[in-house]
């Protein structure tokens, strides 16, 4: 029998928790990641099987990528976890077993981002070019043929009938997923379109660029409604309110701005963060909030996460005004926070950082609940499964860890 297997089976006879407290697990895993000998790698594969039962709740460690994992997502039906890496591969894994199902495609460049349509029928990926797959069989159903345009951001509409892309050259395109063709092409931006998102009804599309502007588009005809230009540096993140026609933007200038998209006005500047505001996301279910108010979260290079309320007051004409404030500062990371995600019911918020750590917080009040120590390099991406039972994290250590 393999000596490595015997060693780790003998190790399992003892208290694994006590052994891991004695060993420096980070150094062990870091060595395994760097030393690519067959013996050390196979030993790690045996070792990971014994990491499932002690506190920390690692279910699977997925080891198919050769470079950093840049993006990941669970399929809406819960069957698959999909990972995209700097090694140019998109890999589909079984959620139930952690086994590799298929490698979809080999690109010439890093897989920068991808997203599922809400119905799960399509998986759109960008690696400078846009490709749409059927995730169930791996077939390419659509491939953009816009020569000379390097796609860097994308989003599906809530009804999955449309998707939008932003390019390195500042071009915004609206596509039909049903007819698999280009509907509208707009060139209003003067630089890289960093982020793009639909509002929850699909009526509006917002695009944010390195040219320091945000453009609000009407999706029915891609009319440019407003160009919002109050940020002093490039735009890094955008998030629509689910209840009102408001948009919040984050920037390299460290500020966040709340916009009324019906009037195209800056109605509140939020200056609490002290470094780049990297990402902003909405709480998925404001009705479950103790305050019965909509919540959103922001993550920054200042090592913190903040919870905010979308709060409003009404004047005599029954018109709303944003008066929300920061309700919690989440401190626990030692380096820049790169990714955050709410569980589907909003009870938990997960964060990943350049400090290699994943932290689970209360989605209601920001209380630190648990630190998940498993990665050995910066955490690049994370997401909860649609039923909220699993959390996936991807890292520059080339690993994807599935947590219970």
Domain ranges of the chain: 1-54, 55-403
CA–CA distance, 300 with 323 (Å, rounded to integer): 22
**pTM score, two decimals?**
0.81
Q: Is the pLDDT of residue 234 over 90?
A: yes
Q: Nearest 5°: phi and psi at 26? A: -60, -45
Q: What is the predicted pLDDT for the residue at 86?
A: 87
Burial 270-286 (b: 16+ CB within 10 A, else e): bebbeebbbbbbbbbbb
Maximum mean pLDDT: which of 135-139, 285-289, 398-402: 398-402
What average pLDDT does range 376-402 have in this prediction?
94
- With a cut of 50, say whether residue 398 has pLDDT above it: yes
pLDDT at 59 over 50: yes
CB distance 358 to 399 below 8 Å? no
> What mean pLDDT is predicted for residues 369-378?
94
Dihedral angle of Cα 78, 100, 161, 174, to the nearest 10 degrees = 140
Q: What is the DSSP letter of 286?
A: G
Mean pLDDT within 272-295: 81
Would you say 182 and 146 are in contact if contact means Cβ atoms under 8 Å apart?
A: yes
Of the listed ranges 25-39, 64-78, 218-232, 321-335, the least confidently predicted one is 25-39
The full DSSP string for 126-175 is ESBSEEEE-TTT--EEEE---TT--EEEEEE-TTSSEEEEEETTS-EEEE
CA 285 vs CA 143, 292, 298, 301: distances in Å:
35, 10, 17, 26
pLDDT over 90 percentage in the chain: 51
Residues 284, 289, 293, 299, CA torsion sign: negative
At 16, is the pLDDT very low, low, confident or very high (cuts 50, 70, 90)?
A: very low
Q: Which two tokens stand for residue 108?
A: 């010439």
Q: Provide the pLDDT for residue 401.
A: 94
Report pLDDT digits (tens) over 235-267. 999 999 988 889 999 999 999 999 999 999 998
β-bridge mates for residue 360, sequence order: 350, 370
- Which pLDDT band holds residue 143 (cuts at 50, 70, 90)? confident
Task: Name the band, by pLDDT with cuts 50, 70 and 90, for residue 318.
Answer: low
Q: Which residue has the higher pLDDT, 108 or 62?
A: 62
CA–CA dist 377, 30 (Å, integer):
8
Short-list 7, 69, 12, CA closest to 39: 7
C-beta atoms surrounding 221 within 10 Å: 9
**Confidence band of 296 (pLDDT split at 50, 70, 90):** very high
Instruction: Kindly report, residue by residue over 157-184, the tens digit of the pLDDT.
Output: 998 889 899 998 999 999 998 877 899 9
State residue 316's pLDDT score. 60
In 3D space, the residue among 123, 121, 106, 112 whose CA is nearest the CA of residue 166 turns out to be: 112
How far is 123 from 152, CA to CA, in rounded Å? 16
Per-residue pLDDT, averaged over 26-50, amounts to: 39
Lowest mean pLDDT among 112-121, 152-161, 169-178, 386-395: 112-121
Residue with the larger pLDDT of the pair 314 and 249:
249
Best-predicted range by mean pLDDT among 80-84, 206-210, 244-248? Answer: 206-210
Beta-bridged to residue 265, according to DSSP, are 260
Averaged pLDDT score across all residues of the chain? 82
- For residue 136, the model assigns a pLDDT of 84
Cα Rg of the chain, angstroms: 22
The hierarchical CATH code for the domain 55-403 is 2.130.10.10
Residue 291 CA to its chain's centroid (Å):
26
- Listed ranges 22-31, 77-86, 308-317, 392-401; the one with the highest mean pLDDT: 392-401
CB atoms within 10 A of CB 325: 11
């Amino acid at each position: 029998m393999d000596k490595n297997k015997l060693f780790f089976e003998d190790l399992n006879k003892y208290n694994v928790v006590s052994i891991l407290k004695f060993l420096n697990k980070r150094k062990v895993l870091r060595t395994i990641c760097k030393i690519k000998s067959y013996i050390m790698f196979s030993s790690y594969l045996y070792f990971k099987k014994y990491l499932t039962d002690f506190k920390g709740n690692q279910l699977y460690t997925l080891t198919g990528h050769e470079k950093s994992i840049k993006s990941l997502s669970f399929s809406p039906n819960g069957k698959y976890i999909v990972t995209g890496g700097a090694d140019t591969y998109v890999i589909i894994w079984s959620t139930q077993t952690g086994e590799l199902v298929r490698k979809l495609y080999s690109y010439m460049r890093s897989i920068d981002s991808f997203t599922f349509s809400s119905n799960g029928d399509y998986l759109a990926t960008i690696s400078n070019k846009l490709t749409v797959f059927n995730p169930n069989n791996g077939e390419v159903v659509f491939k953009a043929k816009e020569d000379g345009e390097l796609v860097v951001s994308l989003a599906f509409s809530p009804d999955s009938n449309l998707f939008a892309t932003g390019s390195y050259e500042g071009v915004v395109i609206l596509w039909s997923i049903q007819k698999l063709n280009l509907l509208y092409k707009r060139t209003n931006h003067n630089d890289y379109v960093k982020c793009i998102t639909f509002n929850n009804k699909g009526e509006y599309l917002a695009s944010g660029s390195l040219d320091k502007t945000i453009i609000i588009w009407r999706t029915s005809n891609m009319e440019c409604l407003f160009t919002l230009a109050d940020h002093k540096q490039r735009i890094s993140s955008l998030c629509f309110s689910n209840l009102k026609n408001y948009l919040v933007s984050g920037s390299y200038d460290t500020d966040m701005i709340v916009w009324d998209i019906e009037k195209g006005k800056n109605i509140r500047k939020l200056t609490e963060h002290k470094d780049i505001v990297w990402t902003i996301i909405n709480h998925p279910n404001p009705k479950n909030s103790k305050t019965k108010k909509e919540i959103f979260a922001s993550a920054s290079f200042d090592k913190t996460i903040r919870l905010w309320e979308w709060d409003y007051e009404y004047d005599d004409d029954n018109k709303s005004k944003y008066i929300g404030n920061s309700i919690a500062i989440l401190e626990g990371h030692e380096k820049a926070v790169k990714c955050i995600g709410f569980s589907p019911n909003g009870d938990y918020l997960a964060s990943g950082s350049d400090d290699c750590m994943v932290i689970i917080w209360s989605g209601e009040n920001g209380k630190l609940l648990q630190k998940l120590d498993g990665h050995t390099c910066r955490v690049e991406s994370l997401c909860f499964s649609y039923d909220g039972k699993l959390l996936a994290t991807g890292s520059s250590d080339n690993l994807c860890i599935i947590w219970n």
